[in-house]
Amino acid sequence: MSDRRSTASVVSGRTVRRALVMAGIGGLTAAGLLGPGAASAQAAACPDVEVVFARGTAEPAGLGRVGQAFVDDLRSDLGGRTVGTYAVNYPASYDFLQSAPQGADDAGAHVQATAASCPTTSIVLGGYSQGAAVVDLISADPGATFGFGRPMPASVADHVAAVAVFGNPAGRIGRTLASASPLYGAKTIDLCNGADPVCSNGDDRPAHSRYVEAGFPTQAADFVAAKVARHGASDVRINASGSVG
């Protein structure tokens, strides 16, 4: 049985890597249209909401085009609430075996630090393309993709109000985050643009660079805003042993 699980994990990892290669192609297209990204500085005081977003392959450092559009729409939806942002600090390079785990380590560390220092802040996780894979690694990762196997502690889920991922390579193997994560699935929106080959078995490569134009950041922001409005520490209760109760 363990051999079968190991084989399945290797096959899944290879499929995700192939999707990430295609994500890189789309990332270059998107990056060519962008100027330097600008991530909002986190306020000194704890914000009402903290968005932790990982950009796609080859995008300039910052939130990325999809991430910035998502944050802008979310701020509009949340009205008077303060919204801080954190652009995951990672290469977003074509060396996916190194890049995505680096992003996962950075994102996971920031989320846990925020949960500890700002316990009443509602955290929102987000990612586009390779950045979506980064979010997968810290919130689900049932097959230890890329050998990572370091998802965040279960107790952190209390502090995460919602998750929004776009062009998620895990969709290629039928493992969307919404279906694969017991802790985060119910508060996740996992969006794939039609026949985007990075997240589906389709072949519309330009679709991977058109998430903003297709209105997906707005759709995700509406979903996340509703989750944030209902977010509370009782959403997921963790007992003393650390298991979900």
pLDDT at residue 74 tops 80: yes
Report the pLDDT value the prediction gives residue 178, as an integer from 0 to 100.
Answer: 76
Report the pLDDT value the prediction gives residue 181, as an integer from 0 to 100.
Answer: 80
Query: Pairing state of beta strands 122-128 and 160-166?
Result: parallel
Cα 61 from Cα 184, distance rounded (Å): 26
List helix spans (H) across the chain.
Answer: 2-32, 64-78, 96-117, 130-139, 177-180, 216-230
Report the pLDDT value the prediction gives residue 151, as an integer from 0 to 100.
Answer: 86
Query: What percent of the chain has pLDDT above 90?
Result: 62
Report the pLDDT value the prediction gives residue 171, as an integer from 0 to 100.
Answer: 82
Per-residue confidence band for 236, with pLDDT thresholds at 50, 70 and 90: very low
Per-residue confidence band for 146, with pLDDT thresholds at 50, 70 and 90: low
- Residues 6 or more apart from 173 whose CB is under 8 A from it? 12, 15, 16
In the predicted model, what is the mean pLDDT of residues 85-90? 98
In the predicted model, what is the mean pLDDT of residues 45-59? 97
**Residue 28 or 143, more confident:** 143
Dihedral sign, CA of 106, 65, 183, 235?
positive
* Lowest pLDDT segment from 33-37, 59-63, 83-87, 185-189: 33-37
Report the pLDDT value the prediction gives residue 50, as an integer from 0 to 100.
Answer: 98
Active-site amino acid positions: 129, 196, 208
Report the pLDDT value the prediction gives residue 2, as an integer from 0 to 100.
Answer: 39
Report the pLDDT value the prediction gives residue 11, as an integer from 0 to 100.
Answer: 37
Per-residue confidence band for 226, with pLDDT thresholds at 50, 70 and 90: very high
In the predicted model, what is the mean pLDDT of residues 235-241? 34
In the predicted model, what is the mean pLDDT of residues 46-59? 97
Instruction: For each of the domains in the chain, give its residue range(s) and CATH number, in order of start.
Output: 2-34+46-230 (3.40.50.1820)
Q: What is the pLDDT of residues 97-137, one digit of tens each?
A: 899 999 999 999 999 999 999 999 999 999 999 999 999 99
Cα 137 from Cα 36, distance rounded (Å): 27
**Residue 185 or 1, more confident:** 185
